Each structure stands twice: as C-alpha cells, then as structure tokens.
Structure 1
C-alpha cells in the first residue's frame, strides 16, 4: 500500500488532487495513451493479419436514447438489429451510498445508477455506445469506467475520469459480439476497492442477425434477466459483528485489509443476500425461454440452475462462438460475463446458484425462478410417497 493510502481517513477526505488515487503504473499508461491518442507517429507498422475498422460518418447515424433499468431487468431492445448501426445514447450517474448486504451488515457502495450491479447496456455489433458519465458533487471520489467491450485507452478508463462535480461524454464502437463486464478503474489499489464496493456491471452486444444455436439456427428468448454476482469484504469487530462507518472513506482502510485476505464476507447476487428470492424471484412460464446474463467482475463463479440446464451457453461470453449445449454447470472467470439460454419444462421453484455451495448457501450467492404452468408427470413424478421401509 502506498504511503498516501495509509494516511488517516480525514486526510484522505481532504485530498482532491485528480491523480491522487492513481498508481504509478496506471498513471504512466494513461499519460502514454493520451499522448498517443490520434497520433500517427505513435502507431507501429501493422501486421499482415491486421484489418483496419472502416471509418463511419457518425453524424449520419440514427441516435437512440436507451433507458437503463435496474437489474435484474434489462432495457427494451430488438433481438435482431433493424437498419444500419446506431449511436446508442446512455447516461449513468455515480452514486456513493450506504446499502444493506444482509441483516446487520451494511457497506458504503460505489454504484453506477444506484444499483449493484450497475445496469445492463444492450446494443448490436457495430453500434456505437455514447455514454454520459456523471459524478455528482455530493460524492467523495474520482471515478471512471473501463468497458471490456471497447478497444483502446484502457477500455475508456483514461478518457472518462471525472472528479466530483464533473461529467464526461465518451463514445466507443462495439466491434465484438458478446457479453462483457464494465467497471470503475481509477488506478492503483482504488481499482479493486471500487470494484468490490459494487462499481461494476455488464454490456450485451448482440449479433446484428441475432443469437444462433450450435447449428447456426436463429434462437429467440421470451425474457432476459441480468444477474450480477458481487463479492463483499466487510470488516468485523472482535466480537464478530460487522463494523459500520459514517462515510465511504472512513471504512476504506479496514476494507483494504480484509480484501488482502482474499476471503469475502459475502458473495451475493444483485447486491444483497436474498435480492432475487421470495417476492423478488425471477418470473417465467412453462414453455418460455429465458436468457440469463451473468457477470462477475472480480472472482470466478460457476452458475447452476437446480432442476434445469443450460440449453445453450456462451461460457466465454462470445456470441460469434458456437454455444455449448445441455450444461449442468458452467464456469465464468473473474472479470467476465456469460449468457445461458434455458426453456422451462416444469413449473415450480428453481434455485439458480453459484455451485460453490458454500458461497451459495452460507454467503448468499443464490436466486430463485418462479415458473408457472402445468406439471408433466412424464418428466418427473413421485412413484411412492415416503412411508415405512418394506422388505
């Protein structure tokens, strides 16, 4: 940890210099990126395999404002693109807020649009995302955004740095089809601190002609839900209760120490234990196909639908790859997002979990699907009810 990060919280709060939270490496990379941005002399000679992205007259493209919604829900979108590529305008506001992760456990979260995870953005390949990122004056920290779906400039991180009271407009072309993480990355130790404080989300870049099965046939979904898995590192008192702080900065030093143990206090879906269970269970009907977009910005995870399967799973997130079929559990590495499609055949309650069952049951990484419809005895039935053992 740097000397400055080891100072007292009140000293941290009084510091406002833009480059304070950048590690030396991040600052050097950022300076080099900005210096080279648009400079032909900084370009190396392209290899024979290099294929430049053709220029587009941005001013000629249709502009569409996308209304972002809180997860697990996703914005309205076409599954197959209509017309030429568009400029998708989105607006995200950073909110630093106290949230309840579980009963008796609260944490100061860094959020995009007030939710953990941040909202899912949806576009089609070759669309442009034009983001207005707002950091209100009421916040304490500098923020930015790194889109794993973008190309260059540290994922946009070096072009989107905003201090409290500032906003920035940033645009990138979504050249790769798939599901991708985005997160705040202000530099140095503040990168993991912001990410595990909830400041991450995902973008889904659909192929222009829609999703395809393993044989190349078009597939559609009736519902899409976004599950953002989050690991939290809440400090504890010596008696085992969780500490609470009166501001984001006051808890930072303690949280950094817990983070270095690599042992989360909570692993949850959508910001809190039980956030997607009970009355908040995800809804579907027998015969409907559901696309589940699942991200984990920091740790590996292994989603599993108890009583169901991954009919089609884009495990690495790339929609241009052939999907895997009929999976029981699939793996998502930290810093990635994946998509799974399943058609429900039976009604009832389904548990959707991280199949490290310690994390699912004891730490909170579980959700529910509540499915309506008629039961099919041909798929499953209880042949005999429990009773005395017979010889």
Structure 2
C-alpha cells in the first residue's frame, strides 16, 4: 500500500458546525466522492440538515509499510493551517496518564480531540539507591513523569499546578509542542499557582517533555521529565505501527549528589543532596532507568512470553550523558531512531544511541525464554545503576540456544538472574 490509503466515510451534514468539526483539522484529507480530483481547502458543509454525502478520508500510512512518500509528508505539512473555529467544537477527552514502566493503551479513534492533561509539580523523598535517599522534583509524584499518549491533530489542554513547597517555579517544555519554549513561557507557575495552555499536535513521534524553569539543568537533573507519544494519523483508527503484544516505558537519567554529610555520631547521613558542581563537571553518582536504582529489576522486572512482540518507548533525560541502549541476547527488529515513525525503521539493530533530550521506539520479538538485561553499553554505568531485566517465560528453544551444561551465572552478577 503506497502513498495514501482511502476510506469511504458516511457523514451526515448538519447545520451545526460541531458535527463536522473533527474533520476540519484535516481539510487536505477530505474530498467529495463525486469529485475525485477535487481537494477543497475547506470541507463543503452547505447541504441542508439531514442530508448526507459520502466523503473520502485521505491519510498517509506511516510506518505500516516501512517507508515514507512525498505525499505522506505533504499531509503533515498542511497541519499548521489555522483551524481555530474547528478547535472550539472538538470532543473532550481526559488523557490516560501512566507511570513507568506502564504505557496507556493505543488510541483507536480516527479523529482529533481536546485532550486534557493535568500535571502537578512537587518534591518527594525517595530511595534513590540501596544506600541513599534523595529528594526528587516530580510531576505527579513520579520519576519519570507520567507517559502521555496522544494523536496527531489532538489539542492538548494542559494544566500545570505548582505545589512545590521549596518555592521553585516550574513549567513544561514539551518537544512535541510547536512554539517558543515548547510551551514553557505559557505554563510557568510559581508556588501555589496553576497555569493552563493549549497546544495542537502537528507531527507524530516520541518526544521528551521536561521542566525548563531556571536553572534548567537543575530541574531536569532532579527528575522533572517524561515522554509523550503522538500517534500518526491513520484512517479507521489504526495505531500506525505494527502490533505489539506488550509496551513498556523506560527512561534513562543521571543524578548528581554530594557525599553524605557526617553526623555528630560519626555516621554518614542516609540522605544525600544535589551537587551542582558535579552536574557541571558531568560526573554523575548514579545512572538509572526509571528514576531510581532497581526500578526495573527484581520484583519490578519487565515481563513477556516467547513469541510476543515487545515495544520499548525509551527516552534519555540526560541531562548530560548519551545512552547506548542494548538488550543483552536480543536485538531490535525495528528501531524508530530519534522517534521518527514516518521514515523506515532500522532493522535488526543491537544497540541504539540516544542523546540527552532524545527518545526512540524499539521493537523486539522474544524467541528464547530467560532473562534479558537492559544496559547502557557505556558499561561502567552498570555499576552506577543502569540495569534492567526483561523476564521472558515460555518453552525452551534448544534449536536456537542450548548446551549440555546448565547456565552458570557468576556470583553477584548483575547481568543475568
């Protein structure tokens, strides 16, 4: 299926603009079926109430065929036109927000909505490592912040409330938003304030969002970041990517802290504090997945069964280090590098490089049961906490992986369990 897909849609044309509004965001995708070569700049909705016309919804099929065409890109180029009147009539939907490693279910609708997203900024003392506690700066009390799933054409109705008792201002810079500061100038909230703004999503992909209040590196380094996935526009409500049996949300980041203070009794404190000099020197004490040591190991390991397709939505908050994400013993059958879901994915890749502020989508098929380890292949970071497990159950495959001897991981090994 090259270029566009066409789906016939019966629409009852009513005098009220609201009945037609969801399609007004995509005028280049609508034409009267009786005019196969006509592409009006605006949908024609002048029929008397109760009459009906058959319309053809024309939309690209990104990622499904593993390639893009010029016409697919033209589709997204048209989305920056002014459709203010249509936005006023969009149906309203509350965003499903999930905490890592969970991902909201795929969006199945084939029309845009006003998507309400509510975030609250406050600090929270957490167990950063086995040894130390640390006060993280959070959105909605989690690091990383909630995963947000949307669709091209949606208008994000974002509300940010600042309940940070330390007095710091906070805001949202989302890489999926179009406009100065990625929304930060519109959403900066002082302690006790709530700010609201709207942003229309013009392009698909996986994007980082983070606090960009001054000093920006400090807000990111302390935990204020998350991912937003903007699904492509697919006719009939398709997801836009090949089917995945399981989807997981994983983010890598660093934490920079001072040595623990020593109390009057000579014992070091169990709580450590942020170190700006260490951040400036790019010397992290901790490099972790999903905000803390062991967040993706032990009882919190990711899970799958043999034969399943597993998708990772992976982001790197940094703020300094590039990640070389590798899953030991597997490969990415599809790697949507830099979050690009329009171009062809890389195929059968073992390691991907994700810069600070970047994100990617990675698909694997689990064939052999066992424990697969997620690492940053800048491998000394393993001992700083950058490790996660994917436990795969199922029937052994000695035709692919086998020996006369049982597996024998070394004592204390972090790579296999």
**Do they superpose with TM above 0.5?**
yes
The CA deviation string for residues 297-328 of structure 1, in whole angstroms up to 9 with x for no partner, is 22210111111110100121111121001001
> Does the 8 Å CA contact 2:165/2:191 hold for their aligned counterparts?
yes
1:355 aligns with 2:390: no
The CA deviation string for residues 103-155 of structure 1, in whole angstroms up to 9 with x for no partner, is 22222211111111111101111212111111126352110010011111210
Which residue number corresponds to residue 346 of structure 2?
324
1:224 aligns with 2:247: yes
Which SS does the other structure have where 1:89 is aligned? strand
1:342 aligns with 2:396: no
Which residue number corresponds to residue 21 of structure 1?
none
Which residue number corresponds to residue 33 of structure 1?
none
1:59 aligns with 2:81: no
For 2:196 and 2:405, locate their aligned partners in 1 and report how far apart those are by CA, in whole Å.
Answer: 64
Structure 1 vs Structure 2 CA RMSD: 2.2
Which SS does the other structure have where 2:299 is aligned? helix
The CA deviation string for residues 184-226 of structure 1, in whole angstroms up to 9 with x for no partner, is 0113xx10001010111111111122566xxxxx511111111
1:294 aligns with 2:309: no
Which residue number corresponds to residue 161 of structure 1?
188
1:373 aligns with 2:400: no
Which residue number corresponds to residue 215 of structure 1?
none
For 1:93 and 1:375, locate their aligned partners in 2 and report how far apart those are by CA, in whole Å.
Answer: 46
The aligned runs of 1:160-309 (5 Å cut-off) are 160-187=187-214, 190-209=215-234, 210=238, 219-237=242-260, 244=271, 251=273, 255-297=275-317, 298=319, 299-309=321-331
For 1:183 and 1:69, locate their aligned partners in 2 and report how far apart those are by CA, in whole Å.
Answer: 16
Which SS does the other structure have where 2:310 is aligned? strand
81-90 vs 295-304, greater mean Cα deviation: 81-90
Which residue number corresponds to residue 77 of structure 1?
106
Which residue number corresponds to residue 118 of structure 1?
145
1:76 Cα deviation after fit: 2.8
For normalisation by structure 1, the TM-score amounts to 0.77
Q: How many aligned residue pairs are there?
A: 321
> Does the 8 Å CA contact 1:104/1:242 hold for their aligned counterparts?
no
**Residues 382, 154 of structure 1: CA spacing in aligned structure 2 closer, same or farther, 3 A cutoff?**
same
> Does the 8 Å CA contact 1:303/1:353 hold for their aligned counterparts?
yes
For 2:190 and 2:327, locate their aligned partners in 1 and report how far apart those are by CA, in whole Å.
Answer: 41
**Residues 355, 242 of structure 1: CA spacing in aligned structure 2 closer, same or farther, 3 A cutoff?**
farther
1:244 Cα deviation after fit: 3.3
**Structure 1 outlier segments of 4+, above 6 Å:** none
**Residues 329, 232 of structure 1: CA spacing in aligned structure 2 closer, same or farther, 3 A cutoff?**
same
1:74 Cα deviation after fit: 1.3
**Residues 370, 275 of structure 1: CA spacing in aligned structure 2 closer, same or farther, 3 A cutoff?**
same
Which SS does the other structure have where 2:217 is aligned? helix
Which residue number corresponds to residue 19 of structure 1?
none
> Does the 8 Å CA contact 1:235/1:242 hold for their aligned counterparts?
no
For 1:269 and 1:258, locate their aligned partners in 2 and report how far apart those are by CA, in whole Å.
Answer: 20
For normalisation by structure 2, the TM-score amounts to 0.73
Could you say which structure has the larger radius of gyration? 2
For 1:128 and 1:139, locate their aligned partners in 2 and report how far apart those are by CA, in whole Å.
Answer: 32
For 1:233 and 1:242, locate their aligned partners in 2 and report how far apart those are by CA, in whole Å.
Answer: 16
For 1:290 and 1:269, locate their aligned partners in 2 and report how far apart those are by CA, in whole Å.
Answer: 17
